Amino acid sequence: MKSTAPSYLKHHFLIAMPHMADPNFAQALIYLIEHGPQGAMGLVINRPSGLNLADVLEQLRPEEPIAPACHELTVYSGGPVQSDRGFVLHPSEEQFQATLALGELGMSTSQDVLFAIADGHGPQQHFIALGYAGWDAGQLEAELADNAWLSCPADPRILFELPAEQRLQAAAASLGIDLRLLSSQVGHA
C-alpha cells in the first residue's frame, strides 16, 4: 500500500460551502496563513467588523490626531480566536517589527504597521483584521473531508482589489464554481 504525504493548504483560500452551519464561518472566505501537521491558522477576509482604522488608533495612540482617511479604512473580523489581536496582510516587500513572510504576502502583527498606514507611508495594499480562525491538528483535514470547505490558491487581487462582498464569489469563480448554484444540503454518495 502506498503512503501519501498530507497536502497542506498554506497560502490558499478556504471557501465555506453553502451548508456551513457554524455562524463564525457561514459564507466566509479565509486566507490560510499556516497549515501543517500542528494545525492551521487563517483570516476571514470578507467580514467587515464595523470598525475602521480610526477606531483602533483611538485606543493605541489617543493623544495624536487621526487623519480623515483612517475613517475610511475598514477593519475586518478575522475570526473568533483572540478577537482583540490585530493582523495586517500586505505585500511581502514591506517589513515591520513583527512581519512574517508568507511568499508574495507578509503578515505583520506589530503596531508600527498600523501607524505607518495611518501616517501615509505604510503599504498601499493592506488588509487589517482583528482575531483569527484556528484549527487543531487534523481538524481542518476532517472538515475538508466532510465537504465543509472548498480550497483554491490564494489570489492577492481578490484580497486587495475587490470589495469584501465580492471576494467569496470571486474565489469560487476561480474554480469555475458559482456558489449560488450549489445546494445547501450535504451528503455523501
Tens of pLDDT along the chain (189 residues) come to 444 556 789 999 999 999 898 999 999 999 999 999 999 999 999 999 999 999 999 999 999 999 999 999 999 999 999 999 999 999 999 899 999 999 899 999 999 999 999 999 999 999 999 999 999 999 999 999 999 999 999 999 999 999 999 999 999 999 999 988 876 554 544
Residues of the domain holding 42: 12-177
Residue 69 lies in a domain: yes
Neighbours of 172 (CB within 10 A): 22
Number of domains in the chain: 1
Residue 2 lies in a domain: no
Query: Side chain identity at 19, as an amino acid letter?
Result: H
Residue 183 lies in a domain: no
pTM for this structure?
Answer: 0.91
Per DSSP, the chain holds a count of helices (H) and strands (E) of: 5, 10
Residue 20 lies in a domain: yes
Domain with residue 113: its CATH number is: 3.40.1740.10
Q: How many CA atoms lie within 13 A of 109 on its CB side?
A: 12
